[in-house]
Structure 1
Amino acid sequence: MTSTPTPSPAPTPTLTLKPGTAWHDAWNRCLTTAPEAFADDRTRNLWSGTWHQDGRTLPATSPIDGTPLTGPPRLDAPAARQAVRASLDQHRAWRHIPLPERRARVSATLDALTEHRELLALLLVWEIGKPWRLAQADVDRAIDGVRWYVDHSDRLLAGRTPLAGPVSNIASWNYPMSVLVHAMLVQALAGNAVIAKTPTDGGVSCLTLACALAAREGIPLTLVSGSGSELSEPLVRSPEIGCVSFVGGRDTGARIATAVADLGKRHILEQEGLNTWGIWNHTDWPSLTAVIPKLFDYGKQRCTAYPRFVVQRTLFADFLAAYLPAVRSLRTGHPLAVEHPSDPLPVLDFGPLINASKAKELHDQVTEAIDRGAVPLHQGSAAAGRFLPGQDTSAYLHPVTLLNPPPSSPLHHAEPFGPVDTIVLVDTEAELLAAMNASNGALVATLSTDDPATYARLAPQIRAFKTGHGTPRSRGDREELFGGFGGSWRGAFVGGELLVRAVTEGPPGERLPGNFPDYHLMPQV
C-alpha cells in the first residue's frame, strides 16, 4: 500500500523594503522640503524665529530594524534659557496679532502639513515604529483636530486673552503629531507663543519638519532638544513661562507638579494610569472579539490603552473563548516590508516597541511575573511576524497575556506601555470595583455588562475620566473633553473648549475644570 505524502507547508515569502521608503529616502526629502531646518547629517533647533545649528547630536537608531537615524541636537540649560527668553519676546508681539490673522496663518500651516502628510507619516514609521496606517492617522488627527479649532475660534476665544507668557510643552514620544503638534497649533491660535522639547526617545525629524512648515507661516514656535533633567529647570521654572503642558509618566509628572505648585504656574499634566476593562454579567462575546485587535493598536504604547481585564470568575471560560482567537490574529512585523515592490505597505496592528531597552524591560517583567506565579495564557511568537531577512528585531515584543500577575510585579499595578495584557478574576461587585481602581485614578475605563442599570450604578464608582459601556474610550478629538482622575492627571483638563480655556485667561476668579492642589472640578457635560 502506497502512503500519501504529507504536503509540505508553503514557503514563507521573502520580504524586502518597499522602494522609496528607506530612511535615506525620507531624509533626502526633508533636506529638499525644509533645508533651513535640516543639515546634511543633523536637525537644527528653532528659537528666536531662526533655525540654529547648535547643540550636541547623539547617535540614534530606528526601532523597526536598527537603522542609524539622526538624533536630537541637545542643548544645555543656559542655551535653553536663552531660547525661553526669546520666546517671551515673540509672545509679547504675537498676543496682539488679531485673531483673523492668527487663524489665517494656522490654516496655511495646516495646508502645508496636508501637502507633506506622507513624508511626516514616513518619518513617524522610522523614528517611533508606527505602522503606516497608524502613522497616517496620527498626522490626519493633528490636521483635522486643529481645523476644528480654527473653524470654531470665534466662539472658543470670545472674551478670552492669551496668557502672560509662552506655553512650554514637554511630551512623550508616542504621538508627536496628534498630541504635541496639535496642542502647539491650538496654543498659538489662542494667541500664545509656544515652546516644545523634542521627546528624547524619538520623533525629532517629524517634529522638525512640522515646525519648519509652521515657522514659514509666522507661527511663533520654539523647538529645542535636550535631556529632561537638564532642560526641566528652564522649561518649567523659568518666570517667562505662562503654562506648562506635560504628557508622560507619573514620576516625572510629580516632579513638575511640585515645581509649578511652588510657583503658582498654570499647568496641564497628563500622566499614566492603569486603564481597566471590566467584564460583569456579560454575554455579547462577538463584540468583544471584534474589539480586541483594535486595543493592541501601536502595541498598546499609548496612554489610553487597556492592559488590564477584570473578569467575573464565572465568565472566565467564555471570556477566553472570545479573547484568545482575537489576540492570536494580531499582525506584527516591519512596517515597510513587502513581498513585491508594487505591493501596498502592510496593514499591521503594531510593529516594534520604542526601543530594544523597553522590549527587554517588558520581557524581563513578564518572565519574573511567571516565575512568581502568573499564569501565561498566550505568548506570541516571532514566527508569526513579517520581517526582512536577517533584520534586527531586538525592539520587538510579541503579545503576551498573563493571568493573576503577583502583587510584587510592576505588571500588577502599573501600565506596561507594551503588548502585555493581564487578567484578574473577581467574584463580587466590590472586588470588581477595587480591581478596576487599582492605580488610584485612570484616564479611561470600560465596563462590559448586559444590564444598563448595572452599568449606570457601577460606572460612577470607577475612577476614570471616561468610562465606556462595552466600548473603548480614547483621548477623543475636536469637542470631546479629556482628563484624568487621581494620580493620572494634575492641572487643567483639555479637549474642546477646555483646551482653549487652559491656555488663555478668562473672567476674574475663573476656576478651570481640573485636578488642582486645592480643588477638583469636573466639567459640565
Structure 2
Amino acid sequence: MAQPTLVLKSGTAWSDVWRRALAVAPEAFREDRVLNLWDGSWQGGGRTLPATSPVDGSPIVGPPRLDAATASRSVRASLDQHRAWRHVPLPERRARVGAALDALAGHRELLSLLLVWEIGKPWRLAQADVDRAIEGVRWYVENIEGMVEGRSPLDGPVSNIASWNYPMSVLVHAMRVQALAGNAVIAKTPTDGGLACLTLAAALIRREGIPVTLISGSGGELSEALVRSAEIGCVSFVGGRDTGARIATAVTDLGKRHILEQEGLNTWGIWEHTDWTNLGTVIPKLFDYGKQRCTAYPRFVVQRTAFDAFLAAYLPAVASVRTGHPLAVAHPDDPLPELDFGPLINASKAKELTDHAAEAVERGAVPLFRGVLDPARFLPGQDTSAYMAPLALLSPPASSPLHHAEPFGPVDTIVLVDTEAELLAAMNASNGALVATLSTDDPATFSRLAPQIRAFKIGQGKPRSRGDREELFGGFGASWRGAFVGGELLVHAVTNGPDAERLPGNFPAYQLTP
C-alpha cells in the first residue's frame, strides 16, 4: 500500500504562527521584524538579518542586531531598573513572577510552535521545554523565602548569554529565578535561533512589570557590554568552550560573579556488564533532539570482550530512532508525529558533522551504523539539508574532532578498551564533563570507578540529566566554571550572602552519584 503524501498540520504553518504572535504581543512584533526590549520598552533599531527555518529552509524572521554602543546604553538602563526592583518586597515579586508564569502557560501551544519552526524541536520536546520553564519556576516561587533569608540582590543586573537549544527551560527559567531573587535581568538572543519564542516570552513577562532586557547582536560586538560592563553584577553563560574561555578570562580579571556552563564530551562506559535489554531500551531515548543537548551521550566506551553483545543491543535500538519533519502529517487534523528528533539547528551543522564523519572514516574509523532519512516522513520536495540520520563510528582517529569534542548532533562514537585504566582514560578524554554513566553488574566496581570519572553527575546504568528545582547542577574540569547552581544555589549564585561567603565551585567534593 502506498504511503500517503504528507501535509502540514492545520494551523501550524509559519505564517499562521507568526500572525498569532503578532496578535498576542503587538508591542514586540511588527509585520516583518521583531523589536529589542531595553530601557523598559520595545524599541526599533538594529540591522535585521535574514533567517531560515531548519525545518524546511523557508524564510523566517531574523534578529535585529544592535551595535555595541546601543548595547552599552541598554546595560546602563538595566542598572537603573535593577536599583528600583531590588527594593520591591518579596511578596510583590512573587506575585508578579507568578502572574507571568500564568501568562506563559496560557500561550504554551504558541511558544512551542515557535520553537518547532525556529530551532527544529519535535512537538513533544518543544512542549517539554516550555513546561519545564513554567513548572520549574513555580517551585521557586513557592520556596523562595528560605532561599533568600539573610541574603540580598546583587549590586547590578544579571547578564545572560545562552545557546539556542533550550530557550525556555534554560534561559527563560534562569531569568525569572534571577528576577524573583531581586535582580534586573539582561539576555542576548542566541544567534542561531529562538528569537520569536524569546520575544513573546519576554513580552509576557515584561507586562507584569518585571525588569527584563532582551537584545540581539553578535557575541563579539556585544560582549564588551554584556560581560565587561561595570554595571553587570553577574554573568551567566551557557555555550561552547572557546567562547566560554574568553568570558572566563574576562570575568576572572574583573572579579565578577559568574556561572559558565560549557561543553564536555559526556561518556557512557560499559565494563563487566550483562543487562543488554535495559541498555537497548535506553539508547533510542539518548537521541532526543538529535543529541543537541549539553547532557547528551555521544561516546560509548566499551569493554572489548563485550563488544559483540553491545552491538547486538545497540544496532536494533539505533535503527528504531525516528526523525522527520516535526509538523508533517497524513491528514491536516491528525496528531503531530512522535519523533526522536527533527532537523539539526541548520544545514551548516549537518554538513559539518557529515564532513567530520567522512574524514574520520578516511583516517581509519569504522562505520557501524549509517541511518537513512525516510522520504515518507517529509513533505514532498521539501529542503532536507538540515537533517541528518543517526550515525555510529568505531574508533575515530585521535586527529578527528569526533575523538575529543562534543559533536552536538546524532553521531555516536564507540571506543574499545581492555583495562580499567583505559576505560577511565577514554571516559575522561575531554578533561571534564557535565554527566557520565557507567554500566556494570557489580555495585562495588561502580563505587570504585565512579569517583575517578571526571563528570559532575554519574549515572549507575542510567542517564543523568541537567535536572531542575532542588537538584544541584555543575561540571568538572573545563565543562564548568564559577558557582554551581540548582535549588537554593541557583538563588545564592545571584544574591549576596554573609561576608566571606564562598559558593560551591568546581571542586570534586560536589560530584554527584546515585
1:447 to 438, 444, 449: 438
Q: Is the 8 A contact 1:446 1:473 kept in 2?
A: yes
Shift of 1:385: 5.9
- Which AA in structure 1 matches 2:7? T
- Is 1:78 aligned to 2:65, yes or no? no
2:146 to 144, 147, 155: 155
Q: Is the 8 A contact 2:434 2:455 kept in 1?
A: yes
Per the alignment, in what secondary structure is the counterpart of residue 388 of structure 1? coil
- Is 1:438 aligned to 2:449, yes or no? no
Shift of 1:384: 6.2
Q: Is the 8 A contact 2:300 2:413 kept in 1?
A: yes
Q: Is the 8 A contact 2:54 2:386 kept in 1?
A: yes
Q: Is the 8 A contact 1:332 1:384 kept in 2?
A: no
CA change 1:416–1:524 in 2 (3 A) is closer
Q: In the alignment, what sits opposite 1:397?
A: 388
Query: What are the residue-to-residue correspondences of 1:358-397 with 2, within 5 Å?
Result: 358-383=349-374, 386-397=377-388
- Which AA in structure 1 matches 2:61? T
Q: In the alignment, what sits opposite 2:105?
A: 114
Q: What's the C-alpha RMSD, in Å, of the aligned pairs?
A: 1.1
Per the alignment, in what secondary structure is the counterpart of residue 408 of structure 1? coil
Q: Distance in 2 between matches of 1:134 and 1:520?
A: 32
Shift of 1:22: 0.4
Q: In the alignment, what sits opposite 2:342?
A: 351
1:246 to 231, 237, 240: 237
Q: Is the 8 A contact 2:455 2:511 kept in 1?
A: no
Q: Is the 8 A contact 2:152 2:182 kept in 1?
A: yes
Shift of 1:158: 0.8
- Is 1:99 aligned to 2:90, yes or no? yes
Per the alignment, in what secondary structure is the counterpart of residue 152 of structure 1? helix
Q: Distance in 2 between matches of 1:521 and 1:232?
A: 33
Q: In the alignment, what sits opposite 1:504?
A: 495
Q: Distance in 1 between matches of 2:249 and 2:150?
A: 31
Unaligned runs of 5+ in 1: 1-9
Q: In the alignment, what sits opposite 1:522?
A: 510
Q: Distance in 2 between matches of 1:386 and 1:372?
A: 33
Shift of 1:520: 7.2
- Is 1:189 aligned to 2:189, yes or no? no
CA change 1:331–1:520 in 2 (3 A) is closer
How far does the alpha carbon of each residue in 1:150-182 deviate from its partner, in whole angstroms, 9 at most, with x for none?
010111111110000000000000000000000
- Which AA in structure 2 matches 1:522? Y
Q: Distance in 1 between matches of 2:231 and 2:143?
A: 29
Aligned residues: 513
Q: Distance in 1 between matches of 2:453 and 2:413?
A: 18
Q: Is the 8 A contact 2:270 2:300 kept in 1?
A: yes
Q: In the alignment, what sits opposite 2:477?
A: 486
How far does the alpha carbon of each residue in 1:307-349 deviate from its partner, in whole angstroms, 9 at most, with x for none?
0000000100100111110100011000000001121000100
Q: In the alignment, what sits opposite 2:190?
A: 199
Q: In the alignment, what sits opposite 1:3?
A: none
Q: Distance in 2 between matches of 1:510 and 1:520?
A: 19
Q: Distance in 2 between matches of 1:384 and 1:45?
A: 39
Shift of 1:383: 2.7
Unaligned runs of 5+ in 2: none
- Which AA in structure 2 matches 1:513? P
Q: Distance in 1 between matches of 2:500 and 2:120?
A: 45
Given the two structures, how large is their TM-score scaled by the length of structure 1?
A: 0.97
Q: Is the 8 A contact 1:513 1:521 kept in 2?
A: no
Per the alignment, in what secondary structure is the counterpart of residue 499 of structure 1? helix
Query: What are the residue-to-residue correspondences of 1:262-277 with 2, within 5 Å?
Result: 262-277=253-268
1:33 to 21, 24, 27: 24
Q: Distance in 2 between matches of 1:378 and 1:88?
A: 53
Shift of 1:522: 2.9
- Which AA in structure 1 matches 2:288? D
1:308 to 299, 308, 322: 299
- Is 1:291 aligned to 2:265, yes or no? no
Q: Distance in 2 between matches of 1:298 and 1:105?
A: 33
1:58 to 41, 45, 49: 49
Given the two structures, how large is their TM-score scaled by the length of structure 2?
A: 0.99
Q: Distance in 1 between matches of 2:390 and 2:254?
A: 44
Q: Distance in 1 between matches of 2:511 and 2:30?
A: 46
Shift of 1:521: 6.3
Q: Is the 8 A contact 2:63 2:195 kept in 1?
A: yes
The percent of aligned pairs where both chains have the same amino acid is: 79
Q: Distance in 2 between matches of 1:41 and 1:251?
A: 34
How far does the alpha carbon of each residue in 1:99-132 deviate from its partner, in whole angstroms, 9 at most, with x for none?
0000000000000000000000000000000000
- Which AA in structure 2 matches 1:21? T
Per the alignment, in what secondary structure is the counterpart of residue 376 of structure 1? strand
Q: Is the 8 A contact 2:159 2:234 kept in 1?
A: yes
